[in-house]
Structures are given as structure tokens and as C-alpha cells.
Amino acid sequence: MKGNTSITLLLTIVLVSSSLAGCFGDALDEVLPERYGTPGGLTLACLQSDTYQSMVIEIDHEADYAPQSSSLDMIVERLESVCDKPGGISIELDEVEFNHEGTWSADDVREKSRLTKDASATTDSTLRWQIIFPSGTYEDDSVLGVAVDASSVAMFGDSIENAGAPFGIRISAEDVENSVMVHEIGHLLGLVNLVYESEFEHEDENNEGHSNNDESVMYWAIESTDLANFISGSLPNEFDEYDLADLAGMADGSIKVTDQLWR
């Protein structure tokens, strides 16, 4: 990395946590009895259209924690670019009360998401994923977002809002939210190597399930290695060529996909 080492290290700790262990809610190898699966467990259900013709992203948020409209537009755009959904991909936005006190654990996210979910992930011909925006922070308060099963993600707005503040440096919270949300959706799509093995060497060897390419939204640190660009808010929010090649290979069957809930 460029720039002051100590500043860079602190920024990395604050902004990249959604790409570390907390990103998966310590559930990477867990298949729950209720068949909620793990991140990537509904990858083919999204990429292909033979079973699920349409898709709904259910957004459940507490008062004053609604996501940015740019984040919602972005995840629909990113999903539409890789998923075959002739019936379309839509957003359902609901204000809810999670009635939760204290910090959040992965199990808390699972419990509250399932209590507020309008319908199961695989209802008729519609695939449903859910993103919750609760008040408060994760138990590791550096974590910005976490994927806890095959269809559920939590985004921690308080941590996102404060993510760009160390040393008086301010990065747009909207930019951070954009990147982290696409990053977590990328994990539900199985990236990187969660339910498949890529022919490309783009998984970071020290951060399972994440890219080693700093131009990918799946980059382990979700930050630019150029500190000047990083400070200006130039965070990656798109899948890179390797991510897209992996998704295309899974979609057309040339890459073997494992641990799918619906097959």
C-alpha cells in the first residue's frame, strides 16, 4: 500500500471488515437444519432461470436506517447483468422494528431476518433475497456488512456512516454503502470460490472468499491501494473480469457448483 503505513492500516481495519471473517457471520461451513444454507447456496437459483423466473430483494430497515437509493439501483443493475431473470428483479422496501438491544451477532441477524422476512427464499417461481438494515453495530464494530446464509445479508449503517472519519479524513458514506452492499451480494452469488473453484488465481490467499484484485468489489479490503484515490471515495463497486468469468461459468455449467439448496 502507498502512503502512511499506520493510517493505511487503520483505514483497512475500519473499512474492510465486511470482507473478513465477519463477512460470513462465522457460518461459511454451516448448513442449518432449516435449510437456509450458506452464502452461495442459491447462486444457481439466481444465475439461471429454469426454476426461478423472477427475483425480489427484500430490504427491511429500521426507522432512519433506509439504504441509499443509489445502493438499491446498483444492486439491481449488478444482478441484472449476471442473473437470468426474464420476470425481472425488483426491490421491496419495508420499515420494521427489530426489537434488538446491544450489538449484533451472526445468530442475531439470522433470527431477526427470519422473523421479518415476508416470504421464504424460494417461493413459487420467485427467488427472494433479504438485506436488513438494523440500528446498532455488529459485535465486532469494524464490520460493515455480513452474509449469514444463502439469502440473508445485514448492513450496519452506524458503522458505515463512521467508516470514513479517522484522522479527519472523510469518505462518502454513500460510496461505502454502495461498495459494501454489492460486496455482500457478491457473496450470495458465491464469490469468491465459496461454492466453486475458479480457474483463475484471484482469491486472496490470506482472506478466504475474497479477491486479490484491488479493482474488484470483492477485493479483500474493499479499498484502493492508492491512498489518494481511496480518500477521494474511489471505492470499487463492480465485479472484475475474473468475477464475471466465474459467474458466467457457473451459469452455463462449465464450472461445477456445489452446496445448492434447491437441487
Give me the pLDDT at residue 16, please.
40
pLDDT digits (tens, 9 = 90+) for 232-245: 557 889 999 999 99
Q: What is the pLDDT of residue 26?
A: 58
DSSP label at 68? P
Using an 8 Å Cβ cutoff, are 162 and 217 in contact? Answer: no
* Cβ contact 139:87 at 8 Å: no
pLDDT at 124: 83
The pLDDT assigned to 256 comes to: 98
- What element of type H or E holds 229? helix 227-231
What pLDDT is stored for residue 109 in this prediction? 97
CA end-to-end span of the chain = 43
Mean pLDDT value across residues 27-41: 67
- Which residues 6+ apart lie within 8 Å of 188 measured at CB? 39, 40, 42, 43, 46, 129, 147, 150, 151, 153
Q: What is the pLDDT of residues 157-200, one digit of tens each?
A: 998 888 765 545 557 889 889 999 999 999 999 999 999 999 99
Half-sphere exposure of 246 (CA within 13 A, CB side): 29
pLDDT tens for residues 190-231? 999 999 999 999 999 998 999 999 899 998 877 433 334 445
Using CB atoms within 10 Å of the CB of residue 218, give its burial: 0 to 12 exposed, 13 to 18 middle, 19+ buried: buried
Residue 26 phi/psi, 5-degree rounding, is 55, 30
Question: Which candidate, 44, 73, 68, places its Cα nearest to that of 57?
Answer: 73
Name the CATH superfamily, with its identifier, for domain 5-252: Collagenase (Catalytic Domain) (3.40.390.10)
